[in-house]
A and B are shown apart, each in its own frame.
Chain A
Amino acid sequence: MSEFDQMYREVILDHYKNPRGHGELDDADAHAEGQNPLCGDEVSIFVAFGEDGDTIDEVKFSGRGCAISQAATSMLTEMVKGRSAAEVAALPRDELLDEIGIPLTPVRLKCALLGLSTLKLALHKARGTPLPEEWAGASSDLELK
Protein backbone atom coordinates (compact mmCIF):
# COMPACT_ATOMS: atom_id res chain seq x y z
CA MET A 1 0.00 0.00 0.00
CA SER A 2 1.44 3.38 -0.91
CA GLU A 3 1.93 6.09 1.67
CA PHE A 4 -0.82 8.02 -0.02
CA ASP A 5 -3.32 5.22 0.33
CA GLN A 6 -2.35 4.83 3.97
CA MET A 7 -2.93 8.48 4.79
CA TYR A 8 -6.32 8.71 3.20
CA ARG A 9 -7.31 5.08 3.59
CA GLU A 10 -10.90 4.14 2.98
CA VAL A 11 -11.99 4.14 6.61
CA ILE A 12 -10.70 7.70 7.12
CA LEU A 13 -12.46 8.93 4.00
CA ASP A 14 -15.64 7.14 5.06
CA HIS A 15 -15.65 8.77 8.51
CA TYR A 16 -14.82 12.14 6.95
CA LYS A 17 -17.59 11.99 4.38
CA ASN A 18 -20.15 10.25 6.60
CA PRO A 19 -19.29 11.33 10.12
CA ARG A 20 -20.82 9.24 12.91
CA GLY A 21 -22.33 11.11 15.79
CA HIS A 22 -22.52 14.32 13.84
CA GLY A 23 -24.82 16.88 15.43
CA GLU A 24 -25.46 18.65 18.71
CA LEU A 25 -27.31 17.83 21.93
CA ASP A 26 -29.59 20.47 23.41
CA ASP A 27 -29.40 19.19 26.98
CA ALA A 28 -25.84 17.94 27.04
CA ASP A 29 -24.44 16.92 30.43
CA ALA A 30 -20.94 17.74 29.21
CA HIS A 31 -19.82 20.16 26.53
CA ALA A 32 -16.59 21.73 25.31
CA GLU A 33 -15.20 23.44 22.24
CA GLY A 34 -11.78 23.00 20.74
CA GLN A 35 -9.92 24.86 18.07
CA ASN A 36 -6.53 24.60 16.45
CA PRO A 37 -5.74 28.24 15.65
CA LEU A 38 -2.93 27.25 13.30
CA CYS A 39 -5.21 25.65 10.76
CA GLY A 40 -8.67 26.62 11.95
CA ASP A 41 -9.91 23.12 12.75
CA GLU A 42 -12.91 23.37 15.06
CA VAL A 43 -14.75 20.76 17.09
CA SER A 44 -17.64 21.07 19.55
CA ILE A 45 -18.45 18.00 21.64
CA PHE A 46 -21.71 17.20 23.42
CA VAL A 47 -22.12 14.30 25.85
CA ALA A 48 -25.19 12.87 27.59
CA PHE A 49 -24.66 10.56 30.57
CA GLY A 50 -26.88 7.60 31.47
CA GLU A 51 -28.87 7.31 34.68
CA ASP A 52 -25.76 6.34 36.65
CA GLY A 53 -24.33 9.74 35.77
CA ASP A 54 -21.15 8.14 34.45
CA THR A 55 -21.88 6.00 31.41
CA ILE A 56 -21.59 7.88 28.13
CA ASP A 57 -25.03 7.34 26.66
CA GLU A 58 -24.76 9.66 23.72
CA VAL A 59 -21.97 11.71 22.19
CA LYS A 60 -22.26 14.14 19.30
CA PHE A 61 -19.88 16.53 17.62
CA SER A 62 -20.04 19.39 15.20
CA GLY A 63 -17.23 21.29 13.56
CA ARG A 64 -15.22 21.89 10.47
CA GLY A 65 -11.68 21.17 9.50
CA CYS A 66 -9.39 18.79 7.72
CA ALA A 67 -10.22 15.17 6.95
CA ILE A 68 -7.97 13.91 9.73
CA SER A 69 -9.49 16.03 12.51
CA GLN A 70 -13.06 15.33 11.48
CA ALA A 71 -12.58 11.62 10.79
CA ALA A 72 -10.69 11.12 14.05
CA THR A 73 -13.48 12.79 16.03
CA SER A 74 -16.06 10.68 14.25
CA MET A 75 -14.13 7.49 15.12
CA LEU A 76 -13.79 8.71 18.69
CA THR A 77 -17.56 8.99 19.14
CA GLU A 78 -17.91 5.33 18.17
CA MET A 79 -15.11 4.31 20.52
CA VAL A 80 -16.43 5.95 23.66
CA LYS A 81 -20.16 5.37 23.51
CA GLY A 82 -21.26 3.11 26.38
CA ARG A 83 -18.01 3.53 28.28
CA SER A 84 -17.56 5.19 31.65
CA ALA A 85 -16.82 8.92 31.65
CA ALA A 86 -14.09 8.43 34.25
CA GLU A 87 -12.36 5.92 32.00
CA VAL A 88 -12.66 8.04 28.87
CA ALA A 89 -11.40 11.12 30.72
CA ALA A 90 -8.15 9.22 31.17
CA LEU A 91 -8.15 7.48 27.79
CA PRO A 92 -4.63 6.93 26.49
CA ARG A 93 -4.21 8.74 23.23
CA ASP A 94 -2.67 5.66 21.63
CA GLU A 95 -6.00 3.93 21.82
CA LEU A 96 -7.39 6.49 19.38
CA LEU A 97 -4.22 6.67 17.31
CA ASP A 98 -4.22 2.87 16.88
CA GLU A 99 -7.78 3.08 15.67
CA ILE A 100 -6.91 5.82 13.19
CA GLY A 101 -4.02 3.64 12.11
CA ILE A 102 -2.15 5.98 9.77
CA PRO A 103 1.30 7.53 10.04
CA LEU A 104 0.95 11.08 11.36
CA THR A 105 3.48 13.90 11.19
CA PRO A 106 3.68 16.21 14.25
CA VAL A 107 1.45 18.79 12.53
CA ARG A 108 -1.22 16.24 11.64
CA LEU A 109 -1.03 14.65 15.10
CA LYS A 110 -2.56 17.82 16.50
CA CYS A 111 -5.41 17.49 14.00
CA ALA A 112 -5.96 13.88 15.03
CA LEU A 113 -6.04 14.67 18.76
CA LEU A 114 -8.26 17.75 18.65
CA GLY A 115 -11.47 15.78 19.23
CA LEU A 116 -10.00 13.70 22.05
CA SER A 117 -8.60 16.76 23.83
CA THR A 118 -11.96 18.49 23.56
CA LEU A 119 -13.89 15.45 24.77
CA LYS A 120 -11.60 15.05 27.77
CA LEU A 121 -12.05 18.69 28.66
CA ALA A 122 -15.84 18.33 28.44
CA LEU A 123 -15.78 15.31 30.76
CA HIS A 124 -13.47 16.92 33.31
CA LYS A 125 -15.55 20.08 33.32
CA ALA A 126 -18.75 18.07 33.89
CA ARG A 127 -17.21 15.91 36.61
CA GLY A 128 -15.39 18.78 38.29
CA THR A 129 -12.12 16.87 38.16
CA PRO A 130 -8.80 18.63 37.54
CA LEU A 131 -7.43 18.55 34.02
CA PRO A 132 -4.77 15.91 33.52
CA GLU A 133 -1.23 17.17 33.38
CA GLU A 134 -0.34 15.51 30.13
CA TRP A 135 -3.27 16.88 28.23
CA ALA A 136 -4.02 14.31 25.51
CA GLY A 137 -0.46 15.00 24.47
CA ALA A 138 -1.06 17.86 22.05
CA SER A 139 -2.93 20.58 23.80
CA SER A 140 -0.45 23.43 24.11
CA ASP A 141 -1.29 24.63 20.60
CA LEU A 142 -5.00 23.99 20.91
CA GLU A 143 -7.53 26.43 22.29
CA LEU A 144 -10.04 24.62 24.42
CA LYS A 145 -12.98 25.97 26.36
Chain B
Amino acid sequence: MAVRTKPRLDARKLRADFPIFEQEVRGKPLAYLDSAVSAHKPRQVLDKLRTFYETSYANVHRGVYTLSELATAEYEGAREKVARFVNANEARELIFTHGATESINLVAYAWGLDNLGPGDVVVVTELEHHSNFVPWQYIAKRTGAAFRAIPLDDRGELRLDTLDEIARSGNVKVVANNLVSNALGTINPVERLGAWAHEQGAIMVVDAAQAAPHHAVDVQQLDCDFLAFSAHKMCGPTSVGALWGRAELLEAMAPFNLGGHMIRSVKLEETTWGQLPYKFEAGTQPIAEAVGFGAAIDYLNDVGLDAIEDHERELLVYALERMAEVPGLVTYGPAPERRAGIISFNLETVHPHDVAQILDMEGVAIRAGHHCCQPLMAKLGVAATNRASFYLYTIPEEIDRLVEGLHKAQKLLAQ
Protein backbone atom coordinates (compact mmCIF):
# COMPACT_ATOMS: atom_id res chain seq x y z
CA MET B 1 0.00 0.00 0.00
CA ALA B 2 1.37 3.36 -0.93
CA VAL B 3 2.02 5.66 1.99
CA ARG B 4 0.65 9.10 1.32
CA THR B 5 2.80 11.73 2.89
CA LYS B 6 1.27 15.04 3.68
CA PRO B 7 2.40 17.62 1.15
CA ARG B 8 4.79 20.16 2.64
CA LEU B 9 5.89 23.42 1.23
CA ASP B 10 9.44 24.65 0.84
CA ALA B 11 9.30 28.29 1.89
CA ARG B 12 12.89 28.91 0.87
CA LYS B 13 12.15 27.73 -2.65
CA LEU B 14 8.86 29.64 -2.85
CA ARG B 15 10.61 32.78 -1.64
CA ALA B 16 12.52 32.86 -4.90
CA ASP B 17 9.20 33.50 -6.67
CA PHE B 18 8.85 36.85 -4.88
CA PRO B 19 10.99 39.65 -6.33
CA ILE B 20 10.46 41.84 -3.26
CA PHE B 21 12.84 39.65 -1.28
CA GLU B 22 15.68 40.46 -3.66
CA GLN B 23 16.09 43.91 -2.16
CA GLU B 24 17.59 44.97 1.11
CA VAL B 25 15.91 47.25 3.63
CA ARG B 26 18.27 49.46 5.58
CA GLY B 27 21.17 47.35 4.35
CA LYS B 28 19.61 44.12 5.59
CA PRO B 29 17.56 41.43 3.88
CA LEU B 30 13.85 42.12 4.21
CA ALA B 31 12.12 40.18 6.96
CA TYR B 32 8.46 40.70 6.13
CA LEU B 33 6.20 39.76 9.01
CA ASP B 34 3.14 41.75 7.99
CA SER B 35 1.38 39.45 5.52
CA ALA B 36 -1.88 39.66 7.47
CA VAL B 37 -2.27 43.21 6.22
CA SER B 38 -1.19 42.39 2.70
CA ALA B 39 0.82 39.64 1.04
CA HIS B 40 3.61 40.01 -1.49
CA LYS B 41 3.19 38.98 -5.12
CA PRO B 42 4.93 36.12 -6.89
CA ARG B 43 6.34 36.42 -10.41
CA GLN B 44 3.57 34.13 -11.66
CA VAL B 45 0.97 36.80 -10.77
CA LEU B 46 3.07 39.75 -11.92
CA ASP B 47 3.85 38.02 -15.23
CA LYS B 48 0.19 37.24 -15.76
CA LEU B 49 -0.74 40.91 -15.31
CA ARG B 50 1.89 42.00 -17.81
CA THR B 51 1.05 39.32 -20.36
CA PHE B 52 -2.64 40.06 -20.08
CA TYR B 53 -2.12 43.79 -20.65
CA GLU B 54 0.30 43.12 -23.47
CA THR B 55 -1.66 40.47 -25.34
CA SER B 56 -5.30 40.20 -24.30
CA TYR B 57 -6.45 43.47 -22.79
CA ALA B 58 -9.67 45.23 -23.77
CA ASN B 59 -12.84 46.05 -21.92
CA VAL B 60 -14.92 42.98 -21.27
CA HIS B 61 -18.39 41.90 -22.40
CA ARG B 62 -18.89 44.81 -24.77
CA GLY B 63 -16.81 44.37 -27.86
CA VAL B 64 -17.56 42.10 -30.75
CA TYR B 65 -13.92 42.14 -31.73
CA THR B 66 -11.42 39.39 -30.99
CA LEU B 67 -9.47 41.19 -28.31
CA SER B 68 -12.56 41.91 -26.26
CA GLU B 69 -13.55 38.26 -26.50
CA LEU B 70 -10.09 37.23 -25.32
CA ALA B 71 -10.27 39.61 -22.37
CA THR B 72 -13.77 38.43 -21.49
CA ALA B 73 -12.67 34.80 -21.55
CA GLU B 74 -9.76 35.60 -19.21
CA TYR B 75 -11.98 37.61 -16.85
CA GLU B 76 -14.70 34.96 -16.71
CA GLY B 77 -12.07 32.24 -16.42
CA ALA B 78 -10.75 34.02 -13.33
CA ARG B 79 -14.27 34.14 -11.91
CA GLU B 80 -14.57 30.39 -12.31
CA LYS B 81 -11.26 29.84 -10.54
CA VAL B 82 -12.21 32.08 -7.61
CA ALA B 83 -15.67 30.47 -7.39
CA ARG B 84 -14.16 26.97 -7.34
CA PHE B 85 -11.67 28.10 -4.72
CA VAL B 86 -14.50 28.59 -2.20
CA ASN B 87 -16.51 25.64 -3.58
CA ALA B 88 -19.38 27.75 -4.95
CA ASN B 89 -22.13 25.86 -6.77
CA GLU B 90 -22.04 28.23 -9.70
CA ALA B 91 -19.69 30.92 -10.97
CA ARG B 92 -22.57 33.43 -11.20
CA GLU B 93 -22.70 33.42 -7.40
CA LEU B 94 -19.25 35.01 -7.40
CA ILE B 95 -19.26 38.80 -7.71
CA PHE B 96 -16.02 40.64 -8.32
CA THR B 97 -15.69 43.67 -6.04
CA HIS B 98 -12.85 45.96 -5.06
CA GLY B 99 -12.17 43.92 -1.95
CA ALA B 100 -13.70 42.37 1.14
CA THR B 101 -14.73 45.80 2.46
CA GLU B 102 -16.78 46.54 -0.63
CA SER B 103 -18.21 43.02 -0.57
CA ILE B 104 -19.52 43.53 2.96
CA ASN B 105 -20.83 46.99 2.14
CA LEU B 106 -22.64 45.48 -0.84
CA VAL B 107 -24.52 43.05 1.43
CA ALA B 108 -25.10 45.65 4.16
CA TYR B 109 -26.63 48.13 1.70
CA ALA B 110 -28.28 45.95 -0.91
CA TRP B 111 -29.66 43.35 1.49
CA GLY B 112 -29.79 45.38 4.68
CA LEU B 113 -31.67 48.46 3.50
CA ASP B 114 -34.55 46.32 2.19
CA ASN B 115 -34.66 43.69 4.90
CA LEU B 116 -33.95 45.46 8.19
CA GLY B 117 -36.16 47.64 10.34
CA PRO B 118 -37.20 48.41 13.92
CA GLY B 119 -37.43 45.28 16.06
CA ASP B 120 -34.70 43.54 14.04
CA VAL B 121 -31.26 42.84 15.44
CA VAL B 122 -27.94 42.92 13.58
CA VAL B 123 -25.31 40.84 15.37
CA VAL B 124 -21.55 41.21 14.95
CA THR B 125 -18.74 40.42 17.39
CA GLU B 126 -16.24 42.48 19.34
CA LEU B 127 -13.53 40.69 17.40
CA GLU B 128 -14.48 42.09 13.99
CA HIS B 129 -12.28 44.13 11.74
CA HIS B 130 -13.88 47.56 11.31
CA SER B 131 -14.85 46.47 7.78
CA ASN B 132 -17.33 43.94 9.17
CA PHE B 133 -18.40 46.17 12.05
CA VAL B 134 -18.87 49.73 10.83
CA PRO B 135 -21.10 48.95 7.78
CA TRP B 136 -23.47 46.95 9.99
CA GLN B 137 -23.51 49.54 12.74
CA TYR B 138 -24.31 52.18 10.13
CA ILE B 139 -27.02 50.23 8.28
CA ALA B 140 -28.63 49.19 11.58
CA LYS B 141 -28.83 52.84 12.54
CA ARG B 142 -30.18 53.83 9.13
CA THR B 143 -32.94 51.20 9.28
CA GLY B 144 -33.82 51.45 12.97
CA ALA B 145 -32.56 47.92 13.71
CA ALA B 146 -30.70 47.17 16.93
CA PHE B 147 -26.96 46.57 16.72
CA ARG B 148 -25.38 44.02 19.05
CA ALA B 149 -21.83 42.75 19.35
CA ILE B 150 -21.17 39.32 20.83
CA PRO B 151 -18.74 40.18 23.64
CA LEU B 152 -15.32 38.67 24.24
CA ASP B 153 -14.05 37.16 27.43
CA ASP B 154 -10.75 38.22 28.97
CA ARG B 155 -8.84 35.79 26.76
CA GLY B 156 -10.33 37.24 23.59
CA GLU B 157 -12.76 34.35 22.98
CA LEU B 158 -16.32 34.93 21.75
CA ARG B 159 -18.83 34.59 24.56
CA LEU B 160 -21.31 32.29 22.89
CA ASP B 161 -23.16 32.01 26.21
CA THR B 162 -24.65 35.43 25.39
CA LEU B 163 -26.47 34.17 22.28
CA ASP B 164 -29.69 33.25 24.08
CA GLU B 165 -30.01 36.70 25.57
CA ILE B 166 -29.32 38.30 22.19
CA ALA B 167 -31.98 36.08 20.58
CA ARG B 168 -34.52 37.25 23.16
CA SER B 169 -33.73 40.90 22.50
CA GLY B 170 -35.43 40.99 19.10
CA ASN B 171 -35.68 39.48 15.66
CA VAL B 172 -32.13 38.48 14.72
CA LYS B 173 -31.77 39.08 10.96
CA VAL B 174 -28.02 39.26 10.33
CA VAL B 175 -25.06 37.55 11.97
CA ALA B 176 -21.66 38.75 10.73
CA ASN B 177 -18.36 37.27 11.87
CA ASN B 178 -14.81 36.89 10.63
CA LEU B 179 -13.63 33.35 10.03
CA VAL B 180 -10.15 34.32 11.21
CA SER B 181 -9.50 37.37 13.38
CA ASN B 182 -6.95 39.69 11.78
CA ALA B 183 -5.85 40.96 15.19
CA LEU B 184 -5.52 37.75 17.20
CA GLY B 185 -5.53 35.06 14.53
CA THR B 186 -8.42 33.25 16.25
CA ILE B 187 -10.20 30.75 14.03
CA ASN B 188 -13.79 31.50 14.97
CA PRO B 189 -16.63 28.96 15.34
CA VAL B 190 -18.38 30.29 12.26
CA GLU B 191 -20.26 27.06 11.53
CA ARG B 192 -21.79 27.11 14.98
CA LEU B 193 -22.73 30.78 14.64
CA GLY B 194 -24.16 30.08 11.19
CA ALA B 195 -26.36 27.29 12.54
CA TRP B 196 -27.57 29.64 15.27
CA ALA B 197 -28.19 32.40 12.71
CA HIS B 198 -30.29 30.09 10.59
CA GLU B 199 -32.29 28.96 13.64
CA GLN B 200 -33.14 32.63 14.12
CA GLY B 201 -34.05 33.02 10.46
CA ALA B 202 -31.03 35.29 9.98
CA ILE B 203 -28.46 35.42 7.20
CA MET B 204 -24.87 34.48 8.02
CA VAL B 205 -22.24 36.82 6.59
CA VAL B 206 -18.64 35.63 6.79
CA ASP B 207 -15.64 37.91 6.47
CA ALA B 208 -13.02 35.51 5.12
CA ALA B 209 -10.42 38.17 4.26
CA GLN B 210 -7.99 36.75 6.79
CA ALA B 211 -8.97 33.11 6.35
CA ALA B 212 -8.96 32.63 2.58
CA PRO B 213 -5.19 33.16 2.16
CA HIS B 214 -4.30 30.60 4.79
CA HIS B 215 -6.65 27.68 4.76
CA ALA B 216 -9.23 26.02 2.54
CA VAL B 217 -12.58 27.82 2.66
CA ASP B 218 -15.69 25.91 1.62
CA VAL B 219 -18.97 27.81 1.57
CA GLN B 220 -20.99 24.57 1.49
CA GLN B 221 -19.29 23.29 4.60
CA LEU B 222 -19.52 26.65 6.36
CA ASP B 223 -23.21 26.78 5.42
CA CYS B 224 -23.04 30.56 5.28
CA ASP B 225 -25.03 32.91 3.04
CA PHE B 226 -22.40 35.44 2.06
CA LEU B 227 -18.60 35.29 2.11
CA ALA B 228 -16.23 38.18 1.48
CA PHE B 229 -12.50 38.14 0.70
CA SER B 230 -9.71 40.18 -0.92
CA ALA B 231 -7.11 39.18 -3.51
CA HIS B 232 -4.29 41.30 -2.10
CA LYS B 233 -3.94 39.17 1.02
CA MET B 234 -3.72 36.06 -1.19
CA CYS B 235 -0.69 37.03 -3.32
CA GLY B 236 -3.04 38.74 -5.79
CA PRO B 237 -3.36 42.38 -6.91
CA THR B 238 -4.87 45.18 -4.85
CA SER B 239 -8.31 46.61 -5.63
CA VAL B 240 -10.01 43.34 -6.43
CA GLY B 241 -11.89 40.97 -4.18
CA ALA B 242 -14.95 38.82 -4.20
CA LEU B 243 -18.35 38.38 -2.70
CA TRP B 244 -19.84 34.92 -2.82
CA GLY B 245 -23.56 34.79 -2.10
CA ARG B 246 -26.36 32.26 -2.41
CA ALA B 247 -27.92 32.70 -5.83
CA GLU B 248 -31.47 32.99 -4.49
CA LEU B 249 -30.46 35.75 -2.09
CA LEU B 250 -28.45 37.64 -4.70
CA GLU B 251 -31.30 37.37 -7.19
CA ALA B 252 -33.81 38.77 -4.71
CA MET B 253 -31.57 41.71 -3.79
CA ALA B 254 -31.65 45.19 -5.22
CA PRO B 255 -28.44 46.29 -6.92
CA PHE B 256 -25.70 48.16 -5.06
CA ASN B 257 -23.75 50.26 -7.56
CA LEU B 258 -25.75 51.46 -10.52
CA GLY B 259 -24.59 52.35 -13.99
CA GLY B 260 -23.29 50.71 -17.11
CA HIS B 261 -23.08 46.98 -17.60
CA MET B 262 -25.40 46.03 -14.71
CA ILE B 263 -28.61 46.68 -16.64
CA ARG B 264 -30.95 44.64 -18.81
CA SER B 265 -32.70 47.60 -20.38
CA VAL B 266 -32.77 51.32 -19.72
CA LYS B 267 -35.80 53.41 -20.63
CA LEU B 268 -36.79 56.89 -19.61
CA GLU B 269 -39.49 55.45 -17.36
CA GLU B 270 -37.66 52.52 -15.86
CA THR B 271 -34.49 50.46 -15.81
CA THR B 272 -34.32 46.72 -15.28
CA TRP B 273 -31.35 44.84 -13.92
CA GLY B 274 -29.06 42.36 -15.58
CA GLN B 275 -28.50 38.76 -14.60
CA LEU B 276 -26.11 37.57 -11.92
CA PRO B 277 -23.30 38.30 -11.48
CA TYR B 278 -23.45 41.39 -13.71
CA LYS B 279 -26.26 42.99 -11.72
CA PHE B 280 -23.64 43.74 -9.09
CA GLU B 281 -20.76 44.71 -11.39
CA ALA B 282 -21.54 48.24 -12.55
CA GLY B 283 -18.98 50.12 -14.59
CA THR B 284 -15.60 48.93 -15.80
CA GLN B 285 -14.36 46.34 -13.34
CA PRO B 286 -10.76 45.83 -12.21
CA ILE B 287 -10.32 43.52 -15.18
CA ALA B 288 -6.60 42.84 -15.15
CA GLU B 289 -6.66 42.65 -11.36
CA ALA B 290 -9.36 39.99 -11.54
CA VAL B 291 -7.24 38.05 -14.04
CA GLY B 292 -4.30 38.44 -11.64
CA PHE B 293 -6.56 37.20 -8.85
CA GLY B 294 -7.13 34.05 -10.91
CA ALA B 295 -3.36 33.62 -11.28
CA ALA B 296 -2.95 34.02 -7.51
CA ILE B 297 -5.55 31.30 -6.94
CA ASP B 298 -3.59 29.03 -9.30
CA TYR B 299 -0.44 29.78 -7.34
CA LEU B 300 -2.05 29.02 -3.97
CA ASN B 301 -3.59 25.83 -5.33
CA ASP B 302 -0.21 24.70 -6.66
CA VAL B 303 1.39 25.25 -3.27
CA GLY B 304 -1.61 23.69 -1.54
CA LEU B 305 -3.80 25.31 1.08
CA ASP B 306 -3.25 22.47 3.55
CA ALA B 307 0.50 22.82 3.17
CA ILE B 308 0.23 26.60 3.74
CA GLU B 309 -1.80 26.04 6.89
CA ASP B 310 0.66 23.47 8.26
CA HIS B 311 3.62 25.69 7.45
CA GLU B 312 2.11 28.67 9.25
CA ARG B 313 1.24 26.58 12.27
CA GLU B 314 4.82 25.32 12.54
CA LEU B 315 6.08 28.90 12.38
CA LEU B 316 3.50 29.98 14.94
CA VAL B 317 4.59 27.32 17.43
CA TYR B 318 8.25 28.17 16.85
CA ALA B 319 7.64 31.92 17.18
CA LEU B 320 5.60 31.61 20.37
CA GLU B 321 8.37 29.50 21.87
CA ARG B 322 11.12 31.93 20.86
CA MET B 323 9.17 35.02 21.89
CA ALA B 324 8.60 33.58 25.36
CA GLU B 325 12.36 34.13 25.88
CA VAL B 326 11.90 37.91 25.69
CA PRO B 327 11.47 39.46 29.14
CA GLY B 328 8.21 41.32 29.66
CA LEU B 329 6.59 40.07 26.46
CA VAL B 330 2.85 39.41 26.58
CA THR B 331 1.02 37.65 23.74
CA TYR B 332 -2.70 37.70 23.06
CA GLY B 333 -4.87 35.11 21.38
CA PRO B 334 -5.77 31.41 21.56
CA ALA B 335 -3.67 28.24 21.45
CA PRO B 336 -1.82 27.51 18.18
CA GLU B 337 -4.24 24.80 17.04
CA ARG B 338 -7.05 27.33 17.01
CA ARG B 339 -5.31 30.14 15.24
CA ALA B 340 -3.76 31.25 11.98
CA GLY B 341 -0.19 32.55 11.69
CA ILE B 342 -0.75 35.79 13.56
CA ILE B 343 0.78 36.89 16.87
CA SER B 344 -0.37 40.03 18.63
CA PHE B 345 1.90 41.03 21.47
CA ASN B 346 3.19 43.81 23.65
CA LEU B 347 6.47 44.47 25.36
CA GLU B 348 5.75 45.76 28.83
CA THR B 349 6.47 49.49 29.12
CA VAL B 350 7.59 49.77 25.48
CA HIS B 351 5.13 51.38 23.11
CA PRO B 352 4.32 49.40 19.92
CA HIS B 353 5.46 52.32 17.74
CA ASP B 354 8.89 52.17 19.30
CA VAL B 355 9.01 48.39 18.95
CA ALA B 356 8.06 48.58 15.26
CA GLN B 357 10.53 51.40 14.65
CA ILE B 358 13.43 49.56 16.27
CA LEU B 359 12.55 46.41 14.30
CA ASP B 360 12.42 48.45 11.09
CA MET B 361 15.99 49.57 11.71
CA GLU B 362 16.82 45.85 11.59
CA GLY B 363 14.92 45.35 8.34
CA VAL B 364 12.07 43.57 10.12
CA ALA B 365 8.57 44.74 9.12
CA ILE B 366 5.76 44.21 11.62
CA ARG B 367 2.56 46.13 12.26
CA ALA B 368 1.91 48.33 15.28
CA GLY B 369 -1.46 49.85 15.98
CA HIS B 370 -5.07 48.97 16.62
CA HIS B 371 -5.33 46.78 13.48
CA CYS B 372 -8.75 48.30 12.65
CA CYS B 373 -10.07 46.59 15.80
CA GLN B 374 -10.66 49.38 18.31
CA PRO B 375 -13.45 47.52 20.19
CA LEU B 376 -11.03 44.60 20.69
CA MET B 377 -8.22 46.88 21.86
CA ALA B 378 -10.59 48.41 24.40
CA LYS B 379 -11.41 44.92 25.63
CA LEU B 380 -7.75 44.00 25.97
CA GLY B 381 -7.20 47.29 27.80
CA VAL B 382 -4.48 48.48 25.42
CA ALA B 383 -4.32 51.29 22.87
CA ALA B 384 -2.35 49.23 20.41
CA THR B 385 -0.44 46.00 19.97
CA ASN B 386 2.43 44.78 17.85
CA ARG B 387 1.51 42.12 15.34
CA ALA B 388 3.72 39.68 13.49
CA SER B 389 2.10 37.54 10.81
CA PHE B 390 3.35 34.77 8.57
CA TYR B 391 2.71 33.39 5.13
CA LEU B 392 3.87 30.72 2.74
CA TYR B 393 7.19 32.53 2.12
CA THR B 394 8.03 33.13 5.78
CA ILE B 395 11.18 31.38 7.03
CA PRO B 396 12.29 30.73 10.63
CA GLU B 397 15.26 33.11 10.24
CA GLU B 398 12.78 35.98 9.99
CA ILE B 399 11.36 34.98 13.35
CA ASP B 400 14.88 34.77 14.79
CA ARG B 401 15.54 38.32 13.63
CA LEU B 402 12.23 39.44 15.12
CA VAL B 403 13.23 37.96 18.48
CA GLU B 404 16.70 39.58 18.32
CA GLY B 405 15.07 42.93 17.57
CA LEU B 406 12.67 42.51 20.47
CA HIS B 407 15.56 41.88 22.83
CA LYS B 408 17.16 45.05 21.53
CA ALA B 409 13.97 47.09 22.00
CA GLN B 410 13.58 45.69 25.48
CA LYS B 411 17.16 46.55 26.42
CA LEU B 412 16.99 50.04 24.97
CA LEU B 413 13.58 51.24 26.10
CA ALA B 414 12.15 49.13 28.91
CA GLN B 415 11.75 51.16 32.07
Contacts and interface: CB of A to CB of B under 8 A. Distances in A.
Nearest to B383: A40
Given A8-B358, A16-B413, A38-B369, A68 B353 contact: yes
Nearest to B382: A40
Contacts of A17: 415
Interface string B379-395: 00011100000000000
Contacts of B370: 38, 40
A67 B354 contact: yes
Contacts of A109: none
Contact of A39 (B26, B361, B369, B415): B369
A138 interface: no
Interface in B330-375: 351-354, 357-358, 361, 368-370
A8 B353 contact: no
A66 B351 contact: yes
Interface in A1-31: 2-4, 7-8, 13, 16-17
A85 interface: no
A116 interface: no
A13 B413 contact: yes
B384 A7 contact: no
Nearest to A35: B383
Given A3-B26, A40-B383, A13 B353 contact: no
B412 interface: yes
Nearest to A16: B413
Contacts of B26: 3
A108 interface: yes
B370 to A, nearest CB: 8
B413 A8 contact: yes
A66 B415 contact: no
B359 to A, nearest CB: 11
Given A39-B368, A39-B369, A66-B351, A13 B412 contact: yes
A144 interface: no
The winner among B351, B412, B415 for most chain A CB atoms within 10 A is B351
A111 interface: yes
A86 B369 CA distance: 36
Contacts of A39: 351-353, 368-369, 383-384
The winner among A41, A66, A67, A107 for most chain B CB atoms within 10 A is A66
Given A39-B383, A40-B384, A108 B413 contact: no
B353 A3 contact: no
The winner among A2, A3, A67, A68 for most chain B CB atoms within 10 A is A67
Nearest to B351: A66
Interface string A71-87: 00000000000000000
A42 to B, nearest CB: 8
A38 B369 CA distance: 7
A107 B369 CA distance: 12
Contacts of B415: 17
A3 B361 contact: yes
A110 to B, nearest CB: 10
B354 A66 contact: yes
A41 to B, nearest CB: 8
A13 B354 CA distance: 11
A108 B353 contact: yes
Contacts of B413: 8, 13, 16, 67
A66 B358 contact: no
Contact of B351 (A8, A13, A65): A65
Given A39-B383, A40-B383, A67 B361 contact: no
Interface string B193-213: 000000000000000000000
A13 B413 CA distance: 7
Contacts of A64: 351
List 7 tightest A-B contacts by C-beta distance, closest first: A40-B383, A66-B351, A66-B353, A4-B361, A67-B354, A66-B354, A40-B384
Given A4-B358, A41-B351, 17 more contacts: A4-B361, A7-B357, A8-B354, A8-B412, A13-B412, A13-B413, A16-B413, A38-B370, A39-B352, A39-B368, A40-B370, A40-B382, A66-B351, A66-B353, A67-B413, A68-B353, A111-B353
29 contacts: A2-B361, A3-B26, A3-B361, A7-B357, A7-B361, A8-B412, A8-B413, A13-B412, A17-B415, A38-B370, A39-B352, A39-B353, A39-B368, A39-B383, A40-B382, A40-B383, A40-B384, A41-B351, A41-B383, A64-B351, A66-B351, A66-B352, A66-B354, A67-B351, A67-B354, A68-B353, A68-B354, A107-B353, A108-B353
Interface of B: 26, 351-354, 357-358, 361, 368-370, 377, 382-384, 412-413, 415
Interface of A: 2-4, 7-8, 13, 16-17, 38-41, 64-68, 107-108, 111
